[in-house]
Amino acid sequence: MTTSSAVAEPKAAATGTRRPRPRGAELIVKFNLVLVFLALCVAASLLTPDFLTTRNLSNLLQQSALTGIVAIGMTLVILTAGIDLSVGSVAAFGGMTVALLIGDDVNVVLAIVASVAAGALFGTVMGGLSAYLSLPAFMTTLAGLTAIRGLTYLLTDGEPTSAGLPHSFQLLGGGFIGYIPIVGLIFVAVTIAAGLVLRGTTFGEYIYAVGSNKEAARLSGLPVRGVITAVFAISGALSALAGVLLTSRLTIGQPTAFNGLELDAIAAVVLGGTHLFGGRGGVMGTFVAVLLLSVLRNLCNLMGLGSFFQMVVTGLILIVALILNMLMEKRGVRA
Amino acid sequence: MNASGTGGPSELTPRLSMRGIVKRFPGTLANDHAELTVLPGETHCLLGENGAGKSTLMKILAGSVQPDEGEIRLDGEPVRLTSPQAGMAAGISVIYQELDLVPDLTVAQNLLLGRAPARGPVIRRGRRAELAREAIDRVGGDFPVNAVVRELPIAAQQLTAIARALTTQARVIVMDEPSATLGENDLRKVFDVIRSLTAEGRSVIYISHRMDEVMEIGDRATVMRDGRSVSVHDLARATPDELVAAMIGESRELVRPTDRPRPEGPALLEIRRVHRPGLIDVRDIEVRPGEVAGLAGLGGAGRTTLLSALFGDTGASVSVRLDGAEPRLSSPAAAVRAGFALVPENRKEQGLMPGLSVARNAAVTALGRPPWLAPHTAGRRRATPALSGLGVKYSSPDQPVGKLSGGNQQKVVLAKWIAKGGLRVLLLDEPTRGLDVGAKADLYRQVRHLADQGVAVLLASSELNELTANADRVWVLHEGRNVACYDPRTTDEATIAHTVITGETPATKAAS
C-alpha cells in the first residue's frame, strides 16, 4: 500500500504540471527576450541621461530599421531551414541600382520597383538553384555574396555614385513623421506583413511545414520547391529594399555598404528564438532581437565604449541567448 | 505486489537475472518490478506491446538508463551498470533498431572504431581489413569491408552492426527488432548468426513483434505488460495465440477483421505498366473501389518502388488509368491532386513534421485551396473531424505530434489525407511497422472503413499474415515483377509465402 501511494503521488503531480509546462516555457522564451529588452532599456536610461531622449530613440529606430527589414526576410528563409548569406551584397546592389537609375532620370517609383525586383530576381535564382538542384543554400548564397558584390562594384568601378537625388526620394530613408523615422515605420510594416503571412496564409503554414520536415511536406503534395524559392525571393527583395532606403538616407549609392550584414541579420533571427534548422520561430522574436541588439550598440556608444568592445558584447550575448534557448528546450522536451 | 523473491534454486546459474526492476518517468511507471532471467546459451524473446516497458528494461540493461530499484546479476554476480561503457565492459551488447553506425565510414572502420590496430599513431589498414573480414564472414556477410556503410543495403548494415557487437566479448547480446528492416532472406542470415552465438554459450535477447520469428528462433519468452513481467513461456510448448493473449491481457480481445465479400465491378485503378529498367516492371494490376489490394514481396522486391512510382516520386514510366481517365502523376503534388495519398514507409522521416502540432500535421494537405487564408482555423475545421473519426488520442490539438504513440502518429498521417478530401487511391507502405497488436488492428479497421467508402487501397507489407487477414487480393512481387495474384480466402498462407520467397507459382494458380 505504501509503495503504491508513493508511486501514485509523483504521477499525479507530474501530470498536473505537465500540460502547462511546455507552453509556459515557450512563453518564457518569448517573454524573456522582451524582459531582457526592457531591462536593458531601463539600465540604459539609468546609466546615461541621453538614452531616453526622443532624438536618441528615433535615431535608434532609424539605425536598426534597415538591418531589421533584412532580418525579417532572413527569418522566413531560416524558418524553411535555409540560410541566405547574400543579403549584404543584394542590399548594396539594390542601393547602387536605384541611385544609378534615378541618376539616369528614371522615374523614382519605377527605379525603386526595378531595384527591389532585381533583388527578388537574385533571390529567386539562388533559392531556385538550391530548391530545384538540391544545392545547399549555404553554397548558392555564398556564391551570390561574392558574385553580386562584384557586380555591384562593376556598376561604377567601385566608386560611389554622385548624381543628385530628388528630395522626395531622400525623405524615404531620412525623413521623419513627427519624431518617428519613416524607415522605422517601414520596418514595423514589413514585420506585421510578414507576421500576417506566416500566421494567416497557407503559404506561411507551408513555410513551417517545409522547415519542420521537407520530405514529409513533399510527400504531402506541398509545393516545397516553390515555397523555398519564394522565401529566397522575398529575402532578396527585402534586402534590396534596405539598400534603396540606405541610398535614400545617404543620398549617394555606396557599393561597399552592408558588408557583413548577413551576420547581423542571422544573429538577430537566432537571438529572436527562430530555430536554425527550421520549423520553429517567428518574426516577432526577430523584431525584438533587432531592437535589443541596437539598444545595446547605442548604449555602448553613449557610454563611450568603442566598437571593438561592442563586438565582444554582442557575441557574448548571442552565446548566452543560445544557451538559454537550449536549456529551455531541454526542459520542455523532458516534461 | 510482492516481488517474486528468491524463487526456487535452479541447477543452472542464470547468465542474466534482473529482479524487481522499477523505473519511474514523470507521469509513467515504465518498469514496475520487472523480472527477466536469461540462461547461458539461450535465445530469450522479450515480448510485449509498445509501451509495455521492453525498451526501458533493455536500456537499463545496456546501462544507458538507471533503475530506481532492483538488482541485476550477471552469472550470479551483482553488477551496477552506471553507464553504457559499464554495460559494454560487463559484456552486454545491444544492437538497436536505429543502427548506430557511422554512415560515411567503411565497414572496417565502423567495426573497429576506437579500437583500430595501430603501430603508434599509424593505423595498420591491412590488419584492420583482415580483422573486419573475419568478423563479417562470421555473420555470413558477403559484402566488401571497404564499402562505405551508407551505400550498403540495410540488411548488410544490420549484419555490420551485429558483427561489431561480436567483436567485443559479449556475454549477452540484445537484438531490438532486427526483422523490422530485414527481408525474409536476410533474416535467415541473422537467425544463423544467433544460432551460432548460442551454440558458443552466449545468450541472446531477441525483441520482436512477429510471432512466427519468435516461435522459430526463441527458446523461452518473457511477456511484459504495463511495465511488469506477466509470464515466462517455454516456446517449445507455447502457441502463438497464448503469447498474444498474454501480451494484450484479458481485458481486450484480439480483433480479427470481418471476412467480407470481395468487391466486384469495374476497376477504379488500373496499373497498366510501371517500368524502370533494372528496378521494376509491374503490369496489369487492378484495384476496384472498396478493395484492399495487398502487395507482398521480399525486401527489395519493388513494393516501395511501385508505391512511390504511383505517387509520382521516381523516374519510372507509369501508365495508369484512374476511373477510365489517365491521371498526371509527374510529382507527388500532381498525384495528390489526382486523389492519390501515400502513407510512407518511415513515418518519422517521411510522414510527419515532428515539431508541429497534431492539428497542423493533420491539416497541412487541406490548405491548398482558395482563399489561402487563416490556415489554423481552416485547417483545424477540416482536421478535427478526421482525427476524431480515426480515434486519434491526443491531449490537445496543439500537442507536438512527436509526443504521440506510434499508432496515433500513423493515424495522424492517415488523418492528413482524410482531411484533404477527394481521396481515391490510398497507398500504404508498411503502415503497421513498429505498432503493437492493438494499434495494428485499429489501423486496419480504419483502412477498411475508408475502403468501404469507395477508396481503392494498395497495401504493401512484409508481414504476410497481415496481408492475408486484411487484403481482398494479394499480389506477389518478386524481383520487381508481379508474379502472382492470390485470393487469401481460398489460398493458404504457405502457398503465398512460397511464391514470395521463390517467385514461383504453383500449378493451381488462383489468379483472377
Q: Does B466 reside within a domain?
A: yes
Q: Does B482 reside within a domain?
A: yes
Domain co-membership, B236 together with B324 = no
| Total of domains in chain B | 2
Please, how many CA atoms are within 13 Å of residue B293, restricted to the half-sphere of its CB? 29
Domain co-membership, B203 together with B273 = no
Domain co-membership, B377 together with B243 = no
Q: Does B179 reside within a domain?
A: yes
Lowest mean pLDDT among B3-7, B450-454, B487-491: B3-7
CA–CA distance, B7 with A285 (Å, rounded to integer) = 61
* A212 to B354: CB separation less than 8 angstroms, yes or no: yes
Under 8 Å CB pairs connecting chains A and B tally to 98
Q: Does B511 reside within a domain?
A: no
What are the backbone angles phi and psi of residue B427, rounded to the nearest 5°? Answer: -105, 120
pLDDT at A136: 95
Domain co-membership, B67 together with B172 = yes
In order of B168, B253, B371, the CA distances from B53 in angstroms are 27, 21, 48
Nearest to B333 among A22, A212, A223 (CB): A223
Helix (H, G, I), strand (E, B) or coil at B175: strand
Mutation target among A201, A220, A329, A334 for the B interface, most CBs of B within 10 A: A220
Q: How confident is the model at residue B335 (pLDDT cuts 50, 70, 90)?
A: very high
Mutation target among B32, B65, B226, B356 for the A interface, most CBs of A within 10 A: B356
Q: How confident is the model at residue B11 (pLDDT cuts 50, 70, 90)?
A: low
Q: Which of B392, B385, B457, B449 is nearest to B420 (CA)?
A: B385
Closest chain A CA to residue B368: A202
Nearest to B27 among A18, A202, A208 (CB): A18
Domain co-membership, B395 together with B282 = yes
pLDDT digit string, tens, across residues A211-246: 999 999 999 999 999 999 999 999 999 999 999 999
Domain co-membership, B238 together with B330 = no
Q: Does B205 reside within a domain?
A: yes
pLDDT at B1: 37
* B344–chain A nearest CA distance, Å: 8
Beta bridge partners of B175: B95, B206
> Domain holding B110: CATH number?
3.40.50.300
Does the pLDDT of residue B120 top 50, yes or no? Answer: yes
Mutation target among B29, B365, B367, B425 for the A interface, most CBs of A within 10 A: B367
Closest chain A CA to residue B337: A221
pLDDT at B165: 81
Q: Name the pairing type of β-strands B16-25 and B69-74.
A: antiparallel
Closest chain B CA to residue A210: B353
User: B412 in contact with A at a CB cutoff of 8 Å?
Assistant: no
pLDDT at B253: 38
Last residue of a domain, one of B248, B282, B311: B248
Give the pLDDT mean for B126-139.
Answer: 90
Domain co-membership, B309 together with B162 = no
User: B199 in contact with A at a CB cutoff of 8 Å?
Assistant: no
Lowest mean pLDDT among B2-16, B63-77, B209-223: B2-16
Which of A163-172, A190-199, B95-104, B392-401 reaches the highest mean pLDDT?
Answer: A190-199
Cell of B402: 512527436
Q: Does B507 reside within a domain?
A: no
Q: Does B1 reside within a domain?
A: no
In order of A160, A181, A187, B238, the CA distances from A98 in angstroms are 12, 21, 19, 83
Give the pLDDT mean for B250-267.
Answer: 61
* B29 to A10: CB separation less than 8 angstroms, yes or no: no
DSSP state of B392: -
Contacts of B353 in chain A (CB under 8 A): 208-209, 212-213, 216-217, 279
Rg of chain A (C-alpha set): 22
Domain limits at B41? 16-248
Strands (E), A45-201: 176-177, 180-181
* B27 to A222: CB separation less than 8 angstroms, yes or no: no
Q: Helices (DSSP H) in B10-81: which residue ranges?
A: 54-62
Nearest to B356 among A3, A209, A218 (CB): A209
CA–CA distance, B356 with B359 (Å, rounded to integer) = 8
Of residues A24 and B3, more confidently modeled: A24
What are the backbone angles phi and psi of residue B323, rounded to the nearest 5°? Answer: 55, 40
Does the pLDDT of residue A286 top 70, yes or no? Answer: yes
Domain co-membership, B393 together with B491 = yes
Does the pLDDT of residue B196 top 60, yes or no? Answer: yes
Q: Name the pairing type of β-strands B340-343 and B425-429.
A: parallel
Nearest to B416 among A201, A202, A220 (CB): A220
pLDDT at A4: 36
* A212 to B342: CB separation less than 8 angstroms, yes or no: no
Q: Does B446 reside within a domain?
A: yes
Lowest mean pLDDT among A53-62, A283-292, B334-343: A53-62
The rounded percent of chain B whose pLDDT value lies above 90 is 38
The average confidence (pLDDT) of chain A is 87
Decide if B303 contacts B311 (C-beta within 8 A). no
